[in-house]
């Protein structure tokens, strides 16, 4: 958790621009107390004739799906806050290239999730703090 899948037009982004985006995304979760290595971002280049919005081919569209596993927010104000944070990370990445953008989050069950054969430790546990500190999965 989280897993970001980023679909964007082929050839639009440099490695440095992707790196900057990834750092902003990773920081969101790091500042929320999660291990940095929980954050995985996959970029997918979209070629001609493979992306359609509103029935028309779209070469100016960044579509991002996010899977949240480790933390699910309940309170509406918390959900609005995380939504805003995600958009703040995405907006410069998309709008800076004159792209339209859209994202959504899916919340998947934390108990059907493993890393390197380990069940990730409970939120805010001592084991999770160790995973944060060591930035890797450690048997506990």
Contacting residues toward a second copy, per CB under 8 A: 1, 3, 7, 15, 18-19, 22-23, 26, 35-46, 49-55, 57-58, 61, 63, 65-67, 69, 76, 79-80, 82-83, 86-87, 91, 95, 100-109, 111-117, 119, 135
State in angstroms the smallest separation of the CB of 126 from a second copy: 20
Token pair listed for 64: 């991002």
CA distances, 9 to each of 90, 93, 104 (Å): 15, 13, 18
d(CA 12, CA 43): 12
Nearer to a second copy, 38 or 121 (CB): 38
State in angstroms the smallest separation of the CB of 44 from a second copy: 7
CB atoms within 10 A of CB 93: 23
Nearer to a second copy, 84 or 124 (CB): 84
Q: How far is CA 79 from the centre of its chain?
A: 15
Nearer to a second copy, 116 or 124 (CB): 116
Nearer to a second copy, 63 or 121 (CB): 63
State in angstroms the smallest separation of the CB of 124 from a second copy: 19
d(CA 58, CA 75): 35
d(CA 96, CA 2): 24
């Amino acid at each position: 958790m989280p897993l970001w899948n980023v679909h964007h037009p082929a050839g639009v982004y440099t490695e440095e621009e992707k790196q900057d985006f990834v750092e902003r995304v990773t920081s969101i979760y790091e500042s929320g107390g999660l291990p940095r290595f929980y954050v995985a971002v996959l970029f997918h280049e979209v070629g001609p004739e493979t992306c359609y919005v509103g029935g028309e081919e779209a070469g100016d569209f960044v579509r991002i799906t996010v899977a949240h596993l480790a933390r699910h927010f309940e309170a509406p104000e918390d959900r609005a806050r995380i939504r805003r944070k995600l958009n703040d990370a995405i907006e410069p990445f998309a709008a800076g290239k004159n792209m339209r953008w859209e994202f959504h989050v899916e919340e998947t069950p934390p108990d059907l999730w493993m890393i390197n054969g380990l069940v990730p430790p409970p939120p805010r546990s001592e084991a999770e703090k160790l995973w944060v500190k060591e930035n890797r999965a450690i048997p506990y």
